[in-house]
Amino acid sequence: MVRRDVVVSDPRGFEASTQVRCPEPARWTQEWVFSDRAAYAEYTRQNRRFGLGCAEAAGPLAGNLNSWQGARDLEAVRVALGERKLNYFGNSYGGVVGVAYAESFPSRVGLMYLDSPIDHTNPSWAGWLRPRATTLERNLHRFAAWCAADRACGLHGRDALKVWDEVMARAAERPIPAPGAGAGVTASAALIASRATVSFEGGWPELAASLAEAQAGDASRFARPFAGAPDPDLSRITTCADFPYPTAYHQVKVLEKQLKGVAPRIGWRAAWPAGVAPQAPSNKTDRATARTTPGGHTGPTR
């Protein structure tokens, strides 16, 4: 067995790496699938204010908080360590930085393991979203198969997909009361689509219980505040710099409609990112050595 030292570095702008402290927290919402144009407009307005505040707080780092700069920073770490090659493990968004490094410094890549990276190579937003949508849809079907086979599922012995369809149709017609989440609180179809956990098997028992209770007229489980911790505020700036997703309401609705053609039950929600791009000042790129990624994003190739 080969023993290796593990070197951990904070991305530029985070924690010990000249941390940027945004003047106000990123706007998060329990219902991030929007069926109301006015609510979406207010959400994007708040995101823009957040983005502009972060840009001012970032000072000279503003415009350089993206995966391409992260790749250059990794190269600086490699050089400082005196390593001939970069051996790298990147999880989730760390995979985006890893891919950017491999594209920018291919001859310097040693061993690289990327777990669940986000694809930034597809020039079409619809093409970029479709695999996400179809995966969500398959996971809902996997959930239904688990319910059919496992007595631990609160919907065991019932058609879980039929229950899903009934709950969503009812909530779309009239939001379902959610008394356990507060007086007068209700759960719309958009909220249920936002909160339904279909991709993590550990969340399936809760989803089954939530659907069973919602079908009986109580959608409190879907409407209770999210208990998990959000991503660091600045991560939204980096994500939106790398993936400048369309922010006009009608553009997102067009993408949603396209996805409903291939993933009509739940996968279509992939059209709505959990955090709308803040629309902060754009990150700088070298146009002479740029390539196109979803939505026309540019980043250095080598």
138 pLDDT exceeds 80? yes
For residue 251, give its domain range: 31-59+136-278
DSSP string, 87-145: EEEEETHHHHHHHHHHHH-GGGEEEEEEESPPP---S-HHHHHHHHHHHHHHHHHHHHH
Contact 232, 285 (CB under 8 A): no
Distance of CA 143 to the CA centre of its chain: 21
Q: Which two tokens stand for residue 164?
A: 């899903």
Residue 194 has phi, psi (to 5 degrees) of -70, -40
- Phi (first) and psi of residue 38, to 5 degrees: -65, -40
79 domain residue, yes or no: no
Is the CB of residue 20 less than 8 Å from the CB of residue 234? yes
Residue pair 176/187 in contact by the 8 Å Cβ criterion: yes
pLDDT value of position 172: 96
262: in domain: yes
Domain-embedded: residue 69: no
Residue 4 counted as domain residue? no
Hey, which of 7-11, 40-44, 190-194, 234-238 has the most confident mean pLDDT?
190-194
Confidence of residue 288 (pLDDT cuts 50, 70, 90): very low
Model confidence band, residue 159 (pLDDT cutoffs 50, 70, 90): very high
pLDDT at 94 over 50: yes
pTM comes to: 0.83
Residues 96 and 38 sit within 8 Å (Cβ to Cβ): no
> Is residue 17 in some structural domain?
no
Note whether residue 108 is domain-resident: no
Q: Which residues contact 152 (CB under 8 A, 6 or more apart)?
A: 205
Question: Residue 59 is encoded by which pair of tokens?
Answer: 């000072």
In a domain, 299, yes or no: no
Over residues 25-67, the pLDDT tens digits come to: 888 788 889 988 999 999 888 888 988 999 999 999 888 889 9
At 224-260, the pLDDT tens digits run: 987 665 667 788 888 888 888 888 999 999 999 999 9
Which of 196, 164, 146, 182 lies closest to 31, judged by CA? 196
- Per the structure, how many domains does the chain have? 1
Q: Do residues 207 and 153 make contact, with C-beta atoms less than 8 angstroms apart?
A: no
SS3 102: helix
95 found inside a domain:
no
Q: Mean of the pLDDT values across residues 195-209?
A: 95
